[in-house]
Chain A
Amino acid sequence: MMTEMRRVTAICNGTVVDHIPAGRALQVMQMLRINVGRSSPISLVMNVPSGKVGRKDVLKIEDRELTQKELDRLALIAPHASIAIIRNYGVAEKRQIQLGEELINVARCSFSNCITQNSREPLPHKLRVVSEEPLDVRCSYCGRTQNIDELAESIL
């Protein structure tokens, strides 16, 4: 934590997402639908050394407390990230990401012949979690096993 602290200052209020797998912070921002044009600061550090996971990314979003529902979207690309809700410079709450049984409208099935590739089809994109460890996620419609890196590219 100290290495990272030297790079980015502590925030007063907001959310810190720590232990993001190195290189994934931009995808995490995209998954959380964080508007880069917002008025409050966003701090992002990438590839910093970490005792726990080798290298990691860290994201600090000021003046916004992410909800559990929003955070659960991260289960696909940063299942072991640690989250702290900060109020008045202190950790007010810690939250864990929970991988549900079904991920609805989180990412699009990556199989080119899946019915959901037609962007005009209105039903939600659904992915079923078959196993958490190792992570096995399949499209609820076509049944194809998803490549997690490809899924990260097709976040909605």
Chain B
Amino acid sequence: MSDLITMDDLSNSEIVEILDTATRLLPVAKGEIYSPLLAGKVLGNLFFENSTRTRMSFESAMKRLGGEVINLSSIGSSVSKGETLYDTMQMVQGYSDIAVIRHPNQGAAQYSADAVDIPVLNAGDGAGNHPTQTILDLFTIRQSHGTLEDLNVVLVGDLRYGRTTHSLSHALVRFGAKLTLISPKGLRMPEEIVSDLTAAGGDVSESQDMAGAIPDADVIYMTRIQKERFPDEDEYIKVAGIYKMTASDLSAAKGSMIVMHPLPRVDEIDPSVDATKHAAYFEQAFNGVPTRMALLCRSLDVKVPKKVK
């Protein structure tokens, strides 16, 4: 049984193995072939917070592999009656073979994993970790560049609260990436994360200038400035729209450069970018399916054959 709570749970070679498995599963993810590797297995999808892509791609991944999905949302369940997470997990363990959890409290995924014997996958805990997003991000980067090694990656937007950029930057540094962190002053990457990245040997620099970072970038990872994180709307308005990428901004970019975004976007990527060869965010969203297939198989100890039929 193996949980996935943070990227620290995976070595670099395990990450590469997961990406290789996901590549083999691509035709299954696309619905081109049906391979019921997870027939008879039940996934408990526990979303105590809103989600579109993560919940749906886990569900799609499980069903494309012949498995079943049961869903829990906090509204209308006994969670709203005050049930503890521990008790909820005991119930889920009785109903399913593996659990995926998203929860507003940090540490909820590790707590759930400690509470039960079935494998638990963290689908986002507060502003903490979101490792399955990191895996699909790495998959997308490798798909475009053929490697994860020594890339020049620019992270833009809300780097303070955006959990996707926290997990991703830790992983990228392990593969020798050069990171440029671009954010408004109030939304800089938390200092403890920057110092952890530097301590891990990361080449990390901070700036507020997105245009200046475009020519050297291999990957530009845009994030949404999250309105819901601001207690004061005036403060939000000050920084909202500060980074807005249009197709014409990309004239200086390398041909191989890709623009990524965990989505949903508001106005940080203009729709004019969608038609450029740089736009990778919709492919990235799709990549949630093959990567989550690979993660489900790994945690359920199901071997994915070298040739998936």
Contacts and interface: CB of A to CB of B under 8 A. Distances in A.
| Pair from one complex | yes
Interface of A: 109, 111, 113-118, 120-123, 139-145
Given A109-B107, A115-B105, A121-B111, A142 B86 contact: no
Interface in B192-206: 192
Given A121-B84, A121-B86, A115 B115 contact: no
B86 A123 contact: yes
Interface in B107-121: 107-108, 110-111, 114-115
A101 to B, nearest CB: 16
A123 B114 contact: yes
Nearest to A117: B105
Most buried by B among A109, A143, A144: A143
Interface string B177-195: 0000000000000001000
Given A121-B86, A123-B86, A143-B6, A115 B192 contact: no
A99 B82 CA distance: 36
A141 B84 contact: no
B124 interface: no
B157 interface: no
B84 A143 contact: no
Interface of B: 6, 82, 84-86, 103-108, 110-111, 114-115, 125-129, 192
B111 A141 contact: yes
**Majority SS of interface residues in chain A?**
loop
A143 B107 contact: yes
15 contacts: A111-B106, A115-B85, A115-B125, A116-B107, A117-B105, A118-B85, A120-B82, A120-B84, A123-B111, A141-B107, A141-B110, A142-B107, A142-B126, A143-B107, A145-B192
8 shortest A-B CB distances, which residue pairs? A141-B107, A142-B107, A142-B106, A115-B105, A115-B107, A115-B108, A141-B110, A115-B111
A13 B103 CA distance: 52
Nearest to B83: A120
B230 to A, nearest CB: 17
A24 B111 CA distance: 31
A139 B111 CA distance: 11
A142 B82 CA distance: 21
Contacts of A123: 86, 111, 114-115
Nearest to B196: A145
Given A113-B127, A123-B115, A145-B192, A139 B84 contact: no
A113 B85 CA distance: 14
B86 A139 contact: no
Contacts of B106: 111, 113-115, 141-144
Nearest to A116: B107
A143 B105 CA distance: 12
Contacts of A139: 107
Contact of A121 (B85, B110, B192): B85
A140 B110 contact: yes
A123 B6 CA distance: 20
A142 B115 contact: no
A109 to B, nearest CB: 7
Given A115-B108, A122-B86, A142 B114 contact: no
A38 B187 CA distance: 53
Nearest to B108: A115
A113 B110 contact: no
Contacts of A118: 84-85, 105
Contacts of B110: 140-143
Nearest to A144: B106
A147 to B, nearest CB: 12
Given A113-B104, A142-B106, 19 more contacts: A111-B106, A114-B105, A114-B107, A115-B103, A115-B108, A118-B105, A120-B82, A120-B84, A121-B85, A123-B86, A139-B107, A141-B107, A141-B108, A141-B111, A142-B125, A142-B126, A142-B128, A143-B106, A143-B107
Contacts of A140: 110
A113 B86 CA distance: 17
A116 B84 contact: no
Nearest to B110: A141
A111 B127 CA distance: 12
Nearest to B127: A113
